[in-house]
């Protein structure tokens, strides 16, 4: 799948849901550039930016901030085709999620997942490539919802994640978030993530033999080897996982995280026309713009999350990169809630 494109099947059911909620699907397609024939022929590729804009417009026009969550209830990860088939042959839930994290970029290079071990189990971090859309609330909630539904299939119908984190502000009014995630969902966080306890991660999934799984793993590595910028995307995903709250995000730390030598990492980035320092600053600026437009964190809190020593240092760096001060950028680009103003919940400095 070429950069910036995603299979149309990714938006399966979005038209019906929007129509049921009183939205104008045809008008949304015209406004966002989504092909009108998409919902009749799901093999049509869609610009990822256009698809994201469609979901955001659907949420605004129907007054449902939980549109992505509602759509997650109508889909499952079978929209990923062969990736889903590999997942269902995995030995455990944790192994299936590892396959998802490794392979998602073959579905769309604009989507990124990392899977990390924590003290409580596994954490799946979900994000967009730095050059994709800023307004990603609905696609993030859709992705996290689909991952939770996959785990629930092998755990229990009433299973809820150990923890769910969203970078954006909380929704206004009643939504399906608590029904989907229980009381574990929090907002204004440093990442979009789903956490799974050890016992759930160990739950069995498929019945494939160890030999079959070994063959699948080899095939996955070979598929990724044909992606010219696979390592660049993995580096970006690693930076996103390590950057918040000033964690060590040096090239040495990232190379260790990825299991690659610093020399290999530098050479492959150079082959793709970039460098580690450039990529790290692009990611940090992308996260800054998302916090400014999607959350109500103040500048000091954003500076803290992104590892700046002082808010003034953050303001200078942001102004250099974007041609305007952070507060002016927020005023011009702020994503407004679909209802009345939300009361901001407390900001967690947990390093989970």
Pairing mode, strands 163-165 and 185-186: parallel
**pLDDT higher at 70 or 235:** 70
Asked whether the predicted pLDDT for residue 335 surpasses 90, the reply is no
The structural domains of the chain, with segments of one domain joined by +, span 5-201, 228-333
The percent of residues in the chain predicted with pLDDT above 70, rounded, is 84
Predicted model pTM: 0.74
Distance CA 21, CA 66 (A): 12
Can you tell me the mean pLDDT for 180-209?
88
Report the interhelical angle of 251-258 vs 230-242 (nearest 10°): 110
At which residue do the structure tokens 């440093």 appear?
A: 190
Can you tell me the mean pLDDT for 10-38?
93
Asked whether the predicted pLDDT for residue 2 surpasses 50, the reply is no
| Sign for the pseudo-dihedral over CA of 112, 116, 120, 121 | positive
Asked whether the predicted pLDDT for residue 198 surpasses 90, the reply is yes
> Quick check: do 5-201 and 228-333 share a fold?
no
Asked whether the predicted pLDDT for residue 71 surpasses 70, the reply is yes
Asked whether the predicted pLDDT for residue 218 surpasses 90, the reply is no
pLDDT confidence band for 350 (50 / 70 / 90): very low
Whether the Cβ atoms of residue 235 and residue 265 lie closer than 8 Å to each other? yes
Can you tell me the mean pLDDT for 197-201?
95
Distance CA 320, CA 285 (A): 10
CATH code of the domain made up of 5-201: 3.90.1520
Mean pLDDT of the chain: 83
Asked whether the predicted pLDDT for residue 351 surpasses 50, the reply is no
At which residue do the structure tokens 């073959």 appear?
A: 106
Asked whether the predicted pLDDT for residue 216 surpasses 50, the reply is yes
Asked whether the predicted pLDDT for residue 283 surpasses 70, the reply is yes
pLDDT confidence band for 195 (50 / 70 / 90): very high
Whether the Cβ atoms of residue 135 and residue 56 lie closer than 8 Å to each other? yes
Q: What are phi and psi of 46, to 5 degrees?
A: -125, 140
Burial class of residue 163 in the structure, from the number of CB atoms within 10 Å of its CB (0-12 exposed, 13-18 middle, 19+ buried): buried
Distance CA 148, CA 194 (A): 8
Can you tell me the mean pLDDT for 35-62?
87
Report the interhelical angle of 262-271 vs 276-294 (nearest 10°): 80
Residue 109: strand pairing partners: none
Architecture of domain 228-333: Orthogonal Bundle (1.10)
pLDDT confidence band for 213 (50 / 70 / 90): low
| Alpha-helical runs (H) found in the chain | 14-20, 25-32, 48-62, 67-72, 82-88, 93-107, 137-154, 177-181, 198-201, 210-225, 230-242, 251-258, 262-271, 276-294, 299-305, 311-322, 326-333
Residue 315, pLDDT score = 95
Whether the Cβ atoms of residue 6 and residue 48 lie closer than 8 Å to each other? yes
Structure tokens at 97: 């999620």
Pairing mode, strands 45-47 and 5-7: antiparallel
Structure tokens at 24: 């104008």
Which tens digits make up the pLDDT trace of 264-274?
889 888 888 88
Distance CA 298, CA 347 (A): 10
Nearest C-alpha neighbor of 68 from the set 7, 4, 125, 17 = 17
Distance CA 51, CA 208 (A): 35
pLDDT confidence band for 134 (50 / 70 / 90): low
Nearest C-alpha neighbor of 174 from the set 17, 347, 340, 7 = 340
Listed range (212-226, 242-256, 280-294) with the worst mean pLDDT? 212-226
Residue 211, pLDDT score = 66
Residue 111, pLDDT score = 85
Asked whether the predicted pLDDT for residue 343 surpasses 50, the reply is no
Residue 1, pLDDT score = 40
The percent of residues in the chain predicted with pLDDT above 90, rounded, is 40
Residue 347, pLDDT score = 34
Buried b (16+ CB within 10 A) or exposed e, 110-131: bbbbbbeebeebbbbbbbbbbe
């Amino acid at each position: 799948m070429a950069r910036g494109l995603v299979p149309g099947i990714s938006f399966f059911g979005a038209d019906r849901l929007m129509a049921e909620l009183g939205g104008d699907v045809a008008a949304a397609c015209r406004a966002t550039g989504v092909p009108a024939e998409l919902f009749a022929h799901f093999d049509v590729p869609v610009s990822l930016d256009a698809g994201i804009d469609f979901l955001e417009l659907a949420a605004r026009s129907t007054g449902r901030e939980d549109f992505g969550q509602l759509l997650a209830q109508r889909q499952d990860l079978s929209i990923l085709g062969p990736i889903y088939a590999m997942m269902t042959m995995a030995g455990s839930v944790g192994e299936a999620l590892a396959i998802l994290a490794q392979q998602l970029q073959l579905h769309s290079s604009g989507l990124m997942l990392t899977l990390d071990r924590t003290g409580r189990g596994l954490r799946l971090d979900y994000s967009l490539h730095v050059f994709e859309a800023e307004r990603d609330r609905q696609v993030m909630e859709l992705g996290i919802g689909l991952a939770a539904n996959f785990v629930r299939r092998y755990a229990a119908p009433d299973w809820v994640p150990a923890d769910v984190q969203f970078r954006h502000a909380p929704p206004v009014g009643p939504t399906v978030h608590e029904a989907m995630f229980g009381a574990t969902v929090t907002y204004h966080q440093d990442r979009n993530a789903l956490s799974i306890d050890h016992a759930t991660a160990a739950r069995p999934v498929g019945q494939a033999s160890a030999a079959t799984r070994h063959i699948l793993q080899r095939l996955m590595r070979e598929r990724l080897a044909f992606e010219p910028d696979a390592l660049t995307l993995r580096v970006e995903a690693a930076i996103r996982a390590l950057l918040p709250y000033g964690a060590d995000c040096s090239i040495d730390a990232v190379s260790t995280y990825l299991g690659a030598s610093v020399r290999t990492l530098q050479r492959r980035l150079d082959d793709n026309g970039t460098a580690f320092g450039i990529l790290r600053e692009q990611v940090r600026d992308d996260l800054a713009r998302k916090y400014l437009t999607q959350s109500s964190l103040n500048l000091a809190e954003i500076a803290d999350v992104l590892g700046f020593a002082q808010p003034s240092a953050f303001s200078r760096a942001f102004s250099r990169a974007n041609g305007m001060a952070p507060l002016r950028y927020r005023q011009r680009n702020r994503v407004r809630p679909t209802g009345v103003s939300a009361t901001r919940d407390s900001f967690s400095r947990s390093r989970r």
